[in-house]
Structure 1
Amino acid sequence: MWRWEAEGQPKAVVAILHSAYENHRWYAWLIEKFRSAGFHVVMGDLPGHGDQAKYARYHEEDFKEYFTYTKILLKVALEYNLPLFIVGNGLGSTIAMQVLQKNKTECAGVILTSPWLHLKLTPGKLSNALSSFSAITSNVKLKHEINLQHFSRNTDVLMELKENLPLNSMVTVKWYREWQQLTRTFRDPEYKFPNIPLLVMTGENDKLTDISITKKWLLQQSLSEFHYKEWHGCLHSLYFELEREDVFQYTIDFINNVLRNLGYIIE
């Protein structure tokens, strides 16, 4: 877990959850933008990711490890005694949704980008069949045919990501089945997202997830305040995209509005 502190008096603290196959180094630009805008940032690598991924040929982490890690991340962020905002991307968004629903958290607002509620691009041609088989198949390896071009049209950013830790998108059937079970939770009519100010953003041309499912899920929630933004022409990872300055400003506007509603004076 790492902390980056704001320049000057902090307004709030932001906890960032990255997506599957990523690492915190990919978010250097976003971290610096938040710091410069007056926010402390707390972030780490999901279990099995980052430096841990150097020694693993595939992802087989138990999703409970992801949830435990996220609870620790939020606990660290709350130590600042500042309003907490959670930013999740891809699988990180989905993990945040589950942890917030299962655990009471003092959270001022949530920003979810491109949550993995329904994948258009799934791991392996046989993944749907294998995922329903017995435990015998749980260690079968599947290649999730994701490449950097699925994330962004920004060639400068793609070059930076390529120079970082490699993208390892090999998973086990067990890992994929756990993700499927998690998404079934969100389709359950009994699932209710906490009544926290929520911003959900997707890319119009996302090749990884079905954004119509995301929008449908959002409209089924009983929230006092929610915002949905579909970015024209964008792919999956909005904070890596050509429009990322605009995406960040939209994020900051949402956060500042929430802080004003909480009684904070925002300059």
Structure 2
Amino acid sequence: MKIKEFSHNAIDGTSLFFREWIPDGNVKGVVCIIHGLGDHSNWYQGLVNYFNTNNFAVAAFDLRGHGKSEGKRGHTPSYEAFMSDIDILLTSTKNHFKDLPILFYGHSFGGNLTLNYILRRRPKVAGVIISSPWLSLYSNPPKSKLYFAFLLNKICPSFLVDNIVNEAALSHNPEIMQAYSKDPLTHSCISARLFTAAYKAGIWAIDNASKFNVPLLLIHGDSDKITSSEASKLFAQRVPDNLCTLKIYEGLYHSLHNELCNKKIFSNIGEWINTKTIFSNKGLLSQEL
């Protein structure tokens, strides 16, 4: 495997940090990963290894305000800025891996972004995998706090509040919990602008799920205490027939790719790619590591 690291400037000049993991063999396709709030593109190594083992390249970038990308931590000038940044990822991936099929993988807030990107931009991609999306939080703030957040968005959009993550709610793997808390590139803050934008985008995505037009695998743990698995079920119900495969994992937490049983989850992803996308019946991904 080769790892390439480079930067691109966003439309507003913000420097965005990119990574590509390229397998040694013949590359059959590319997976673009959109990471979650507070983490960064290097938090998906198990998933990357699975795809690389099966001759899929992986491309990702650190969202603005995250990881090694520039920008105030946990803030964005607008939701559209994220959409434009994902445009850059997709263009870069197409340029580096010409004529290869592209899949998207979005986790948590990255799932919110990816679903909205597909619905708003309508890119030509082979399929979309969404993990534990922030369509709705497991426990939404009371109306008084929501009102205050929207008020802050108008008068001081970059105002930050602590978005303290209980590492124990991420995964049953204690090593993951410890590593997350010690990683200097993760953060636990969110601005009024980012929160209100994500909150509205989650509602908008559910309201427009009937317009989804790409094969979709939607996975969620029913013991996720960060984002709502019920919202994922609602989104899946509204996607046109035969396009969405929904998998709810009993007893699993938020970061499915970092759970102790992640090999089972990767196997399910491989099975879906082999049967529900343009790779159908080609056996391109093994179901075991």
For normalisation by structure 1, the TM-score amounts to 0.89
1:183 shift after superposition: 1.9
Deviation per CA, 1:198-245: give whole Å up to 9, x if none. Answer: 100001100011211110111111143321111111101100111111
- Answering whether residue 194 of structure 2 is matched by residue 178 of structure 1, we say no
- Answering whether residue 176 of structure 2 is matched by residue 157 of structure 1, we say yes
Residue 88 of structure 1 corresponds to: 106
Residue 59 of structure 1 corresponds to: 75
Corresponding letter in the other structure for 2:75: H
Tell me how far apart the structure 1 counterparts of residues 216 and 92 of structure 2 sit (CA, whole Å): 21
Residue 200 of structure 1 corresponds to: 218
1:252 shift after superposition: 1.1
Tell me how far apart the structure 2 counterparts of residues 125 and 56 of structure 1 sit (CA, whole Å): 27
1:166 shift after superposition: 4.8
Tell me how far apart the structure 2 counterparts of residues 57 and 266 of structure 1 sit (CA, whole Å): 39
1:165 shift after superposition: 2.7
1:172 shift after superposition: 2.1
Residue 63 of structure 2 corresponds to: 46
- Answering whether residue 285 of structure 2 is matched by residue 255 of structure 1, we say no
Tell me how far apart the structure 2 counterparts of residues 137 and 217 of structure 1 sit (CA, whole Å): 32
Tell me how far apart the structure 1 counterparts of residues 134 and 145 of structure 2 sit (CA, whole Å): 16
Q: Percent identity?
A: 24
Corresponding letter in the other structure for 1:213: A
Relative to 1, partners in 2 of residues 1:179 and 1:260: Cα closer, same or farther, differing over 3 Å?
closer
Q: Is the 8 A contact 1:13 1:85 kept in 2?
A: yes
| Unaligned runs of at least 5 residues, structure 1 | none
Alignment of 1:1-267 (within 5 A): 1-52=18-69, 56=72, 58-79=74-95, 80=97, 81-121=99-139, 127-133=145-151, 135-188=154-207, 190-257=208-275, 258-261=277-280, 264=282, 266=284
Question: What's the Cα RMSD here?
Answer: 2.4
1:57 shift after superposition: 5.5
1:62 shift after superposition: 2.4
Tell me how far apart the structure 1 counterparts of residues 216 and 209 of structure 2 sit (CA, whole Å): 16
Tell me how far apart the structure 2 counterparts of residues 127 and 167 of structure 1 sit (CA, whole Å): 25
Corresponding letter in the other structure for 1:174: R
SS at match of 1:92: helix
1:130 shift after superposition: 0.7
Q: Is the 8 A contact 2:32 2:105 kept in 1?
A: yes
Corresponding letter in the other structure for 1:242: L
Corresponding letter in the other structure for 1:146: V
1:161 shift after superposition: 2.9
1:52 shift after superposition: 3.9
1:138 shift after superposition: 3.2
Residue 13 of structure 2 corresponds to: none
Q: Which deviates more, 23-32 or 231-240?
A: 23-32
